[in-house]
Chains A and B, each alone.
Chain A
Amino acid sequence: KNEVEQSPQNLTAQEGEFITINCSYSVGISALHWLQQHPGGGIVSLFMLSSGKKKHGRLIATINIQEKHSSLHITASHPRDSAVYICAVREINTGNQFYFGTGTSLTVIP
């Protein structure tokens, strides 16, 4: 069973395009995180959301708690945005368990 589902699995875009990555989850959560994994393997946290919307530069993350859905948007995409984007949720019932999506591999072509 997959507690966190992401779509699409792979995404190729032209530089400048608006990109949306989706995340759906099936458990009650206290927070949802968007992570970025670089081609070299390193993982960094982009956003932590418990409600509403957050914006950082060209990245926007939204969450709808009722629908158990989150989206990550990238405006004016750039080749340096090429990475794997991972959605993770912190389950509220177990207290501290994190569940991760399998990631969306994004390639932005110049």
Chain B
Amino acid sequence: DADVTQTPRNRITKTGKRIMLECSQTKGHDRMYWYRQDPGLGLRLIYYSFDVKDINKGEISDGYSVSRQAQAKFSLSLESAIPNQTALYFCATSDAGRPGDTQYFGPGTRLTVL
């Protein structure tokens, strides 16, 4: 079984709809991240969490919110989706105890907002 899972893997929705992307991990890592990837751009950080009580905005947090329900779960919400949020979304985890913070990525969620 995959260590980092994301649901759904694909989603098509309409402008204005509320969408939640979920991420679960079995690696026991404290740190979790949400990124989006757009063609021609590098991965960009949306939000990150270093433990259940610690949530931080990343480079492009506007229009998004997150919830860290447990160490293993980190959800990303789009309260009112808009077309420029169409992208590939990745969840990642890392182990705070290891130097260099190697990240382990989920398989990605392809979101299309019409």
Contact = CB atoms under 8 A, between A and B. Distances in A.
B42 A30 contact: no
B99 A50 contact: yes
A108 B92 CA distance: 28
A100 B103 CA distance: 12
A102 B102 contact: no
Interface in A55-91: 86, 88, 90
Chain A residues touching B, range: 20 to 34
B97 interface: no
Contacts, number: 59
B43 A100 contact: yes
Main secondary structure, interface of A, reads strand
Given A42-B107, A42-B108, A86 B42 contact: yes
Given A88-B43, A100-B44, A102-B42, A48 B108 contact: no
B42 A103 contact: yes
Given A41-B107, A42-B107, A42-B108, A102 B41 contact: yes
Nearest to A9: B40
B78 interface: no
Contact of A43 (B45, B90, B110): B90
A78 B51 CA distance: 41
Contact of A98 (B45, B99, B104, B110): B45
Contact of A33 (B48, B99, B103): B103
B85 to A, nearest CB: 17
22 contacts: A2-B42, A30-B99, A31-B99, A31-B101, A41-B88, A41-B110, A42-B105, A43-B90, A44-B105, A48-B100, A48-B102, A50-B100, A86-B42, A88-B42, A88-B43, A88-B103, A96-B48, A97-B45, A97-B59, A98-B33, A100-B43, A100-B44
Interface of A: 2, 4, 30-31, 33, 35, 40-45, 48, 50, 86, 88, 90, 96-103
